[in-house]
Amino acid sequence: MRLLKRLVEADAPSGREDEIRALIIREAEKFGYEVKTDALGSVIAHKVGNGKKLMLDAHIDEIGVIATYIEDEGFIRFGAVGGLDVKELHKRRVRFANGVVGVVAAEDERFEKKPELTRLYIDIGARDKAAAEKLVCAGDTAVFDGGFTQRGDTIISKALDDRVGCYMLLQTMKKVKKSPNDLYFVFSVQEEVGLRGARTAAFNIMPEYAIAVDVTDTGDRPSCAPMDVKLGGGAAIKVMDRSVMCDSHVVGILRSLAEEKGIPYQNEIMADGGTDAGAIALTGSGVRAGGISLPTRYIHSPSEMADIGDIKACIRLLTAACEYKWE
């Protein structure tokens, strides 16, 4: 888990992925792949093969906030970078790229309904605007301040969405010994603000098949929306989400591989939220796309929770998909 810890602790909100990109490149180059970066900033690792082009994608960015204005009293107004759950922000800590930590606060200490983003601000303890501007300026981004914790097979951290997907791709690159396919491992940027990096990378590659690797919600908590995915249940094979209806052939192959190799799996139908699979599927004249997801609780929070056994199941299924001859 040391590599995963390094990945999640890198701070890289959408559009500011330099730190995590450098780490991904260093790790990817260890496995003998041809590694390049496209114009938008996505990392593409290519293992040449004679078969169909198979693209595997995980995004490297995370949600965050961006400073928009500093008030005379030193409080920082901010906007969203990605899908923030505004009702969960109050009294959360955020960390700017220079290490400055602040607390998200609300104009109303107690509120009966979800506050508007304009009613929230970040308090970095500055006495006035001049003091704040020495530390933060408009345009600076910040991410949740939440460290990596492991207890047994349970891990908790910020940015498991989707650094754990990047981790699983890197481990798959390491494990694949021989593939009949032309393999492309894509570590895409700006997923949280519109699936952007995967779209341009897929246009560059034009694969016949693609598998998006991301996290997914679970239905195993009290009072949560019903969903046939749980922590500890194995890899989640995506059937659909709000962005895509997965190709039935891809879904069928992934299920067959899981059953053949004894890999625990579950069927994912995610009613709220989308993934890079949606953008990839609509590239060019179309790509046969599917997804392998990691069951994760408390997505888009500083305390995302996942199971190591599920991570291992996802890696095994991804490896099997790379070694399968796609026709």
Q: Would you call 191 a catalytic residue per the annotation?
A: yes
Q: From start to end of the chain, where are the E strands?
A: 34-37, 43-47, 53-59, 64-70, 76-81, 93-96, 101-106, 120-123, 141-144, 149-151, 154-157, 182-188, 209-216, 235-241, 244-245, 265-269, 288-295, 304-307
Neighbours of 72 (CB within 10 A): 9
Give the three-class secondary structure for 263.
coil
Q: Of these residues, 27, 191, 268, 304, which one is catalytic?
A: 191
Q: Are 304 and 214 in contact (CB under 8 A)?
A: no
Measured distance CA(307)–CA(317) in Å, rounded: 16
What DSSP designation does 219 have? S
Q: Which amino acid is at 46?
A: H
Enumerate the active-site residues. Answer: 191
